[in-house]
Amino acid sequence: MADDALVIFTPSGKRGRVALGTPVLTAARQLGVDLDSVCGGRGICSKCQVSPGLGEFPKHGLTVAEGALSGRNAVEDRYDRVRGLQPGRRLGCQAQILGDVVIDVPPESQVHKQVVRKRAEAREIVMSPAVRLLYVEVQEPDMHEPSGDAERLAQALETQWGLKGARCGFAVLQGLQPILRKGGWKVTCAVHQVAEGSEPRILQVWPGFHEGRVTGLAVDLGSTTIAGHLCDLASGEVLASSGLMNPQIRFGEDLMSRVSYSMMNPGGAAEMTRAVREGMNRLIAEIAAEAGEDPRDILDAVVVCNPVMHHLFLGIDPFELGQAPFALATSDAVNVRARDLDLTLHPAASVYLLPCIAGHVGADAAAVTLSEAPEKSADLVLVVDVGTNAEIQLGDRTGGVLACSSPTGPAFEGAQISAGQRAAPGAIERVEIDPVTKDPRYKVIGCDLWSDEDGFEAAVAETGVTGICGSGIIEMVAEMRMAGILDASGLIGSPEQTGTERCFLDGRTYSYRVREAGEDGRGITVTNRDIREIQMAKAALYSGARLLMDKRGTDTVDRVVLAGAFGAHISPKHAMVLGMIPDCALDKVVSAGNAAGTGARIALLNREARAEIEATVREIRKVETAVEPRFQEHFVNASAIPNAVEPFPILGTVVTLPDVSFNTGGESGSGEGGRRRRRR
Ligand code: FES
């Protein structure tokens, strides 16, 4: 009879022969199979659960007979009694291999388990956090071989887990001795290790086996809002998510006004640093309360933000970012202790900030790169994160990635638009205009009915129809263009030219009435000035993208990814009619949601991803739009709707734009009828 057996692990398909009597966990390690363990095979943690198969496995050419594994032992019986073991499950550290066998490792027993993402085209998230729990049995002190408790703990981590040179932080050292004795020299350590082979840091020690979970925080620190996810560092599960307004808003809505606040007020930068850290601590408290966790138990954190927020959060004066050549204090990733940032996390917790790409393209853009992985894309992808600045990346796996930032201004957020507002209940978010009657129908946030459906007025009675949000204004302008109310140069026509009384003379130009004034006296109108603001914003965005396409030597892109909360609500067709994004098949324009937040979560859950994004960012070619002469040229062309020179052939197969011109001519010859002030 053979003294070894064939073992095949699924789903990995890894196989090999092991000596009879080998525990499944040991076999898994020998064959490089990903099977979890916190207790090191002592039958305590139950992380090593497997499902052995019985019967015929034609795919593997194997018949697994009864008795291929040892019978359930007392440890498994006890575990089943106390905690319950699912039928068919065994503890991998207890079950021994006695014959040829096929063993399935369920997803929850894999160390590097995959966290499910909704979008197939985005990168996978594989669990490999910087902080993990390890159970060890520590040698008791011995008069004949004197050594410190901390040194014997480090020795135990090395012999039992292969972790060399683990060090206790000062706070851990202060409490270590009673914990070791309370646990009978058996303890669980939370160990932080930035990368394989780097120095491990013991963050906390619990007596015996620690049942609790370890958590980490991923934060997208924006200039307007701060949003965070509290994650379980073993499963990757998001335990709670929360967001709040960035308290720095009181120092200025946009970033440059905050930079000027710091320039003009002695101590202004420090004041803003205090404000943002207070905001972070409020978020931490809220999110921990929602998950029923103590904020002091959060052991790791990742923060992504734009360069100005990055500096202010770290306590660095953003002065240099307010003037050319926009030098960052550091573009590298930053690893810092939470306590150095006055954050109320675990006292030994670390905070990791992703690298910045350039003076205008921050760690938030790097997080978008991490989430969307343009450098790994088989097709040429344009990734656009739309905000007050648009951060634009273009790339694929053969040609590398180019990045720039383009000053779109706040128009897409509803600012500087006469009826504009933030996305909130009552804001128009969807629009359709009948090309014959030129009448609009619309939907507002908080109501599922269209405005021409029965019951709409009653449904919106409470919120009212209060304005138009960013995605709504994009649809509105595009629909006006498609319905022939607006010409390519951005002029709204007169009632005679458009055939609708909804267009009316409003000063020197025409406006389009969307909604009559109600009892509250507020109607909703789109003015020619509003159109102009949107033209500016979309021209800035398009020119940035076009500039990157020039640098890449292409006139087309295969795919467009719209990132950011706003991007999630943009209709691809309307964005293209507007000429905001390059011509592309509509089904190839997708929304990535909050890709920066997802990137932060990836970096939190996978330490290798940190090293990877640091290397990727170094390879990204930055393009500074301000010094590129062609940017202006593209901007002028892109001011037309959709564009004065670009043909948009794919869009042409989906939409026919009316060939109208409302320029009455003779006044300026500018194509604008001389009726609009020039803004450039
Ligand atoms: Fe912990 Fe098996 S490894 S119970």
The answer to whether residue 76 sits within a structural domain is yes
Q: What per-residue confidence (pLDDT) applies to 122?
A: 62
pLDDT in tens, 564-582: 877 778 889 999 999 999 9
Q: Which residues pair with 479 in a beta bridge?
A: none
Helix axes 268-291, 307-314, angle to 10 degrees: 90
Q: Are residues 241 and 191 in the same domain?
A: no
For residues 531 and 671, membership in a common domain is answered with yes
Note the pLDDT of residue 532.
95
Domain count, the chain: 4
Compute the distance between CA of residue 660 and CA of residue 491 in angstroms, rounded to an integer.
10
Residue 500 lies in a domain: no
Is 117 part of any domain? Answer: no
Give the confidence band of 118 by pLDDT, cuts at 50, 70, 90. low
Nearest CA to ligand 1 atom 3: 41
Q: Which residues contact 388 (CB under 8 A, 6 or more apart)?
A: 223, 254, 255, 407, 408, 409, 410, 413
List all residues 6 or more positions away from 464 whose beta carbon is below 8 Å from its beta carbon: 426, 518, 520, 522
Distance 91 CA to ligand 1 centre (A): 6
In a domain, 303, yes or no: yes
Domain termination residue (choose one: 109, 141, 167): 109
CATH number of domain containing 157: 3.10.20.880
Q: Are residues 178 and 224 in the same domain?
A: no
The domain in which residue 164 lies consists of 131-207
- In the predicted model, what is the mean pLDDT of residues 323-329? 87
User: Which one is predicted more confidently, 62 or 437?
Assistant: 437
User: Is there a single domain that holds both residue 190 and residue 326?
Assistant: no
Residue ending a domain, among 191, 207, 223, is 207
Indicate whether 280 and 326 sit together in one domain: yes
Amino acid identity of residue 269, one-letter, is A
Give the amino acid at 12: S
> Strands 509-515, 524-526: parallel, antiparallel or unpaired by DSSP?
antiparallel
CA angle 108/112/117 to nearest 5° reads 80
Specify whether the backbone of 605 is left (phi greater than 0), alpha (psi in -120 to 50) or beta.
Answer: alpha
Q: What's 251-311 look like in SS3?
A: HCCCHHHHHHHHHHCCCHHHHHHHHHHHHHHHHHHHHHHHHCCCHHHEEEEEEEECHHHHH
CA angle 290-293-298, nearest 5°? 115
Note whether 62 and 160 are same-domain residues: no
Among 33, 34, 36, 48, which residue has the most ligand 1 atoms within 8 Å of its CB, making it the best to mutate? 48
pLDDT higher than 60, residue 249: yes
Q: First CA to last CA across the chain, in angstroms?
A: 88
Q: Are residues 530 and 611 in the same domain?
A: yes
Copy the structure tokens of residue 87.
């039928």
What was the pLDDT predicted at 120? 55
Residue 376's CATH number: 3.30.420
Model pLDDT for residues 387-431, shown as the tens digit of each residue: 778 899 999 999 999 999 988 877 887 778 899 888 888 999 999
- Out of 42, 89, 137, mutate this one to test ligand 1's pocket (max ligand atoms within 8 Å of CB): namely 42
Atom of ligand 1 nearest to the CA of 93: 2
Q: What is the DSSP letter of 318?
A: G
Q: How much distance in Å is there from the Cα of 39 to the middle of ligand 1? A: 5
- Domain boundary among the residues 45, 75, 109 is at 109
For the ranges 104-118, 133-147, 586-600, 633-647, which has the lowest average pLDDT? Answer: 104-118
pLDDT for residue 121: 55
DSSP designation for 82:
H
Residue 286 has pLDDT above 90, yes or no: yes
Residue 617 lies in a domain: yes
Q: State the pairing for strand pair 467-468/503-506.
A: unpaired
- Per-residue H/E/C for 203-240: EEEEECCCCCCCEEEEEEECCCEEEEEEEECCCCCEEE
Confidence class of residue 174 from pLDDT cuts 50, 70 and 90? very high
Site to substitute for ligand 1 among 39, 50, 89, most atoms within 8 A of C-beta: 39
Give 250-272 pLDDT, tens digit per residue: 777 677 778 888 888 888 888 89
What confidence tier does 521 reach under pLDDT thresholds 50, 70, 90? low
Residue 463 lies in a domain: no
Contact between residue 197 and residue 155 where contact means Cβ atoms under 8 Å apart? no
In a domain? residue 634: yes
Q: List the 90-91 sheet strands across, edge first.
A: 15-19, 4-10, 101-104, 49-52, 90-91
Is the domain of 394 the same as that of 414? yes
Ligand 1 centroid–CA 94 distance in Å is: 8
3-state secondary structure of 624: coil
The span from the CA of 12 to the CA of 272, in Å, is 51
| Bigger pLDDT: 198 vs 114 | 198
Atom of ligand 1 nearest to the CA of 39: 1
The single residue listed with the structure tokens 């062309």 is: 637
Could you tell me if residue 186 is inside a domain? yes
Mean of pLDDT values over 173-197? 95
**Ligand 1 atom with the shortest distance to the CA of 135:** 1
Distances (CA, A) of 555 to 517, 547, 550: 45, 10, 7
Q: Which atom of ligand 1 is nearest to the CA of 75?
A: 4
Which residue from 26, 33, 35, 44 has its CB within 8 A of the most atoms of ligand 1, so it is best to mutate? 44
- Based on the number of CB atoms within 10 Å of its own CB, is 680 exposed (0-12), middle (13-18) or buried (19 or more)? exposed
Three-class secondary structure of residue 244 per DSSP: strand
Q: Which residues, including other chains, have CB under 8 Å from residue 641's CB and lie 6 or more apart? A: 477, 478, 481, 486, 488, 489, 490, 535, 577, 578, 579
Query: Buried (b) or exposed (e) across 152-188, using 16+ Cβ within 10 A?
Result: bbbebbeebbebeebebeeebbeebeebbeebebbbb
Asked whether the predicted pLDDT for residue 86 surpasses 70, the reply is yes
CATH code for the domain in which residue 235 is found: 3.30.420.480
* 184 CA distance to ligand 1 middle (Å): 19
Among the listed residues 181, 179, 182, 160, the one whose alpha carbon sits nearest the alpha carbon of residue 171 = 179
Mutate to test the pocket of ligand 1, among 91, 134, 209 (most ligand atoms within 8 A of CB): 91
Q: Which residue has the tokens 């001795």?
A: 177
Task: pLDDT band for 462, please (50, 70, 90 cuts).
Answer: confident
Please say if the pLDDT value at position 378 is more than 70. Answer: yes
Q: Are residues 139 and 279 in the same domain?
A: no
Closest residue by CA, ligand 1 atom 1:
45
The residues, ordered by sequence, that sit 6+ positions from 221 with a Cβ below 8 Å of its Cβ are 246, 276, 280, 303, 304, 305, 309, 313
Q: Are residues 42 and 142 in the same domain?
A: no
Domain co-membership, 146 together with 45: no
Q: What is the 468 CA–ligand 1 centroid distance (Å)?
A: 57
The alpha carbon of 152 and the centre of ligand 1 are apart by a number of angstroms equal to 23
Give the per-residue pLDDT at 436: 94
- φ and ψ of 264, to 5 deg: -95, -15
Which atom of ligand 1 lies closest to the CA of 91?
A: 2
Rounded Cα distance, 571 and 534, in Å:
15
Pocket of ligand 1 (CB under 6 A): 25, 37, 39, 41, 43-48, 91-93
pTM (two decimals): 0.86
Check whether residue 381 and residue 349 sit in a common domain: no
Mean pLDDT of the chain: 90
**Sheet containing 298-305, strands listed edge to edge, beginning at the edge strand earlier in sequence:** 238-245, 225-232, 215-221, 298-305, 350-353, 334-337
- Please state, in angstroms and rounded to a whole number, the distance separating the CA atoms of residues 584 and 560: 8
Nearest in space to 185 (alpha carbons), one of 148, 153, 142, 147: 153
Please report, for the domain that includes residue 100, its CATH number: 3.10.20.30
